[in-house]
């Protein structure tokens, strides 16, 4: 399993290198994320969590009936290693990211003075209890998305272990839902793969990849083609933004037939933040956060 996770990091690192060459205007943010990935991978092999052990017949039945294999509250987190990673990410924010520097400084001071209950914050992230995170952010005079993002990035190595272990429990070829078969998370981004243009989605919570239905909205399940369309930025037909007039959601999609790798999607998501702005300006809503960051 660790080999698969190392390959996952390698694909993201390789994509970062490629985009840093192609998009020099994004050097600052991509350089920061390169350091984030390196810090996460350094901690990955030190993670110790109990892997899910579902009976084969139970796992098969869940997939057949459309139930995720592992509910979010059953994802275990190595809080000791995650706390160390959180501190490392705060240090990186302080030294390498002008936008996050103040937040990194505040959080390091809050941990040193024990004003930040990291374990409670982790539980809130895993169980998606946003009010707890917002309260903590207010108490620390931080922006909610920043605290949420730094905490989420610190627990990702633990989430990756559970997702990779659960993915080996049973075949998931028949899964055709808009939510992740491992945890039920929504797609952060998707990719068109192969000559037939299959859609592979990246889970915004656990990092698993699964095949989405080729047509239809992954958020509200409508397949009415009259309410579904896509657009792309000028000179950027490699990236499409699929929008749904019914639920007003949108999903960015990378056409890997024109370059890129689906396993590096988390990086492409960061590099296409301007497309999020375009979609939001048109009144569409992003339904899931980025795997990397806010």
CA–CA separation, 78 vs 46, rounded Å? Answer: 9
DSSP conformation class of 258? G
Beta-bridged to residue 147, according to DSSP, are none
Here the tokens at position 271 are: 């590099």
Q: Please report, for the chain, the start and end positions of each structural domain, with discontinuous segments joined by +.
A: 2-167, 187-286
Quick check: helix, strand or coil at residue 223?
coil
The predicted pLDDT at position 52 comes to 85
Place of tokens 């984030």: 36
The predicted pLDDT at position 130 comes to 92
Nearest to 47 by CA among 158, 164, 126: 158
Here the tokens at position 243 are: 């929008």
Distances (CA, A) of 276 to 27, 45, 152, 226, 284: 19, 34, 20, 22, 9
Residue 249 φ then ψ, to 5°: -90, 165
Distances (CA, A) of 173 to 69, 98, 160, 170, 240: 14, 44, 20, 9, 25
The predicted pLDDT at position 53 comes to 82
The answer to whether the CB of 175 falls within 8 A of the CB of 63 is yes
CA–CA separation, 34 vs 17, rounded Å? Answer: 8
- Residues ≥6 apart with Cβ < 8 Å to 294: 145, 146, 148, 149
The predicted pLDDT at position 253 comes to 96
CA–CA separation, 235 vs 250, rounded Å? Answer: 20
For the chain, 294 residues long, give each residue's pLDDT as a single digit of tens: 677 888 899 999 999 999 999 999 999 999 999 999 999 999 998 999 988 888 889 999 999 999 999 999 899 999 999 999 999 999 999 998 988 999 999 999 999 999 999 999 999 999 999 999 999 999 999 999 999 999 999 999 999 999 999 988 788 888 989 999 999 999 999 999 988 789 999 999 999 999 998 889 999 999 999 999 999 888 788 999 999 999 999 999 999 988 888 999 999 999 999 999 999 999 999 999 998 877
The predicted pLDDT at position 211 comes to 93
HSE-CB for 172 with a 13 A CA cutoff: 23
CA–CA separation, 184 vs 208, rounded Å? Answer: 10
């Amino acid at each position: 399993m660790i080999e698969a996770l190392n390959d996952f990091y390698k694909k993201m690192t390789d994509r970062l290198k490629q985009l840093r060459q192609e998009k020099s205007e994004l050097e600052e943010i991509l350089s920061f994320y390169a350091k984030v990935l390196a810090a996460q991978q350094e901690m990955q092999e030190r993670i110790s969590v109990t892997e899910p052990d579902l009976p084969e017949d139970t796992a098969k039945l869940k997939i057949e009936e459309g139930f995720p294999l592992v509910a979010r509250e059953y994802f275990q987190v190595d809080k000791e290693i995650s706390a160390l990673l959180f501190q490392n990410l705060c240090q990186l924010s302080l030294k390498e990211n002008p936008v996050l520097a103040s937040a990194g400084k505040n959080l390091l001071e809050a941990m040193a003075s024990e004003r930040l209950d990291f374990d409670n914050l982790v539980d809130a992230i895993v169980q998606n209890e946003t009010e707890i995170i917002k309260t903590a952010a207010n108490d620390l005079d931080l922006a909610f998305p920043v605290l949420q993002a730094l905490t989420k990035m610190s627990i990702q190595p633990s989430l990756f272990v559970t997702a990779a272990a659960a993915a080996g429990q049973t075949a998931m070829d028949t899964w055709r839902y808009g939510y992740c078969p491992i945890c039920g998370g929504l797609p952060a981004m998707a990719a068109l793969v192969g000559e037939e243009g299959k859609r592979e989605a990246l889970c915004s919570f656990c990092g698993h990849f699964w095949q989405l239905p080729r047509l239809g909205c992954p958020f509200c399940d409508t397949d009415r083609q009259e309410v579904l369309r896509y657009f792309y930025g000028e000179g950027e037909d490699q990236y499409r933004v699929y929008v749904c007039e019914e639920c007003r959601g949108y999903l960015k999609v990378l056409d890997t037939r024109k370059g890129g790798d689906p396993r590096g999607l988390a990086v492409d998501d960061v590099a296409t933040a301007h497309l999020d702005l375009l979609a939001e300006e048109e009144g569409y809503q992003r339904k899931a956060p980025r795997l990397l960051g806010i």
